[in-house]
Amino acid sequence: MASPKHPKQHARLPPPKQKQKQRPLLLRRAMLHSCLCFLLGLLTGLAPSDWADAHLFRDAVVRAINDTAAQLRHYHYNYYQQQQQQPLPLPQLQIPLQQPQLLVVVTTTGMSERERRAAGLTRTAHALRLVSPPVVWLVVEAARAAPATARLLRRTGVPYRHLTYTDNFTTTTSSEEERHHQRNVALGHIEQHRLRGVVLFAGLAEVYDLRLLEQLRQIRTLGAWPVATVWEQDKKVAVEGPVCSSTSTGAASAWFSSSSSAGAGLTITTSRPTPPLTSDDSSVHGFAFASDLLWDPARWDRFPTSEPDQSQDSIKFVQRLVVEDYNKTMAIPDYTNCSQVMVWRADTTLLL
């Protein structure tokens, strides 16, 4: 079969892709060369006319840079010297006010009945809730009666420590002996844990004026105040406490005891230079003392070797200090010259 006569009938092939990209690439190269030539001409026009001028221009620039750096170093050096010569301002420190002393209130329950114990603890708790902190209440009792008292103390809202013991006091004649033991348990706890503050023995039958509780924080060693005891059945009142002279400057100078009955006025029956050293409640509930006296070795050395039992008895030690250092005892309240009663003990049946 013959080949076609007309060559136009053959299909025309498209050009290769590389040839299509050659024109844009050449255009880019031309634009780049043009920009380089423009920049070269601009730099040539700004540069000095000869090489000597170019070197001078470079040296001038270097000198200007060095001079600027030297000036900056000189400025920083002078500023540092001035800061070293001038004292730094002290920060404004706020000196806190002296924190009031801790008030350690000790309450012994003795062999009281459950109902009377609950009533006395509730009354004392209401008074302590009104005292400004810091305050801690030490309640001491036998372990067998602890559960009921623990539930009561948790509801008072007063910071407390419940101290118990397992010693057995069962005879009716050992009530004072048990109270004596309870006070030693409390003082042992204070000494062991170094509760630094003012210690007050608060009985279940006592009613306090809140002003007295606040003034106790002023005690540095010993303090004393008048106490009024009321017997409801006998219709009798007894008051005892320190005597302040006009020249004592707030310190106790003597001790008085007075009593009255129904139909009779209040008369002073006893006056002595120091308080009596007895084992009843009146010898501890009318005083407060700084707790650091308990671990002061200089004071413990006062006990003679012939009385070893007292050196192991904290409450007897405190009572003896009250007698020996009575002329250093702070009389409370000081602003009434020891003439105002701020503690009342109601009914001897509640003296526990």
pLDDT at 21: 47
- Give the C-alpha separation, 315 to 292, whole Å: 14
The 10s digit of each residue's pLDDT in 268-295 is 567 788 887 665 665 688 899 999 999 8
- The most confident of the ranges 4-8, 46-50, 216-220, 347-351 is 216-220
pLDDT at 74: 63
The 10s digit of each residue's pLDDT in 29-54 is 667 667 766 766 665 666 555 545 55
For residue 276, give the nearest of 314, 229, 320, 340 by alpha carbon: 320
Report the DSSP beta bridge partners of residue 139: 107, 162
User: What is the band of 350 on the pLDDT scale with cuts at 50, 70, 90?
Assistant: very low
Whether residue 116 has pLDDT greater than 90: no
Cis-peptide, bond into residue 7, ω within 30° of zero = no
Q: Which two tokens stand for residue 135?
A: 């305050």
* CA quadruple 17, 18, 20, 26: dihedral, nearest 10: 160
For residue 198, give the nearest of 116, 320, 294, 267 by alpha carbon: 294
Lowest mean pLDDT among 104-113, 133-142, 240-249, 304-313: 304-313
User: Based on C-alpha coordinates, what's the Rg of the chain?
Assistant: 48
Whether residue 10 has pLDDT greater than 70: no
Span 8-20, average pLDDT = 51
100-347 architecture in CATH?
Alpha-Beta Complex (3.90)
pLDDT at 331: 85
For residue 111, give the nearest of 152, 172, 166, 160 by alpha carbon: 172
**DSSP structural state of residue 303:** S
- Residues whose CB falls within 8 Å of the CB of residue 228, separated by 6 or more in sequence, listed in order: 237, 238, 239, 341, 343, 344, 345
Whether residue 168 has pLDDT greater than 80: yes
- Residues whose CB falls within 8 Å of the CB of residue 338, separated by 6 or more in sequence, listed in order: 225, 226, 241, 242, 243, 244, 252, 331, 332
- Give the C-alpha separation, 231 to 238, whole Å: 9
- The most confident of the ranges 14-18, 26-30, 331-335 is 331-335
287-290 sheet: strands from edge to edge: 160-165, 135-142, 102-108, 197-201, 287-290, 222-224, 330-331
267-272 sheet: strands from edge to edge: 206-208, 343-346, 227-231, 236-243, 254-261, 267-272
Whether residue 3 has pLDDT greater than 50: no
Whether residue 174 has pLDDT greater than 80: no
Q: Where are the domains of the chain?
A: 100-347
pLDDT at 46: 60
Distance of CA 243 to the CA centre of its chain: 36
Whether residue 297 has pLDDT greater than 80: no
Give residue for tokens 């008072």: 156
- Give the C-alpha separation, 176 to 160, whole Å: 24
User: What is the band of 129 on the pLDDT scale with cuts at 50, 70, 90?
Assistant: very high
Whether residue 89 has pLDDT greater than 70: no
pLDDT at 250: 67
pLDDT at 161: 96
pLDDT at 319: 85
- Give the C-alpha separation, 277 to 334, whole Å: 24
User: What is the band of 125 on the pLDDT scale with cuts at 50, 70, 90?
Assistant: very high
* 282/317: higher pLDDT: 317
Q: Percent of the chain beyond pLDDT 70?
A: 59
DSSP E strands in 15-157: the ranges are 102-108, 135-142
pLDDT at 251: 77
- Give the C-alpha separation, 159 to 190, whole Å: 15
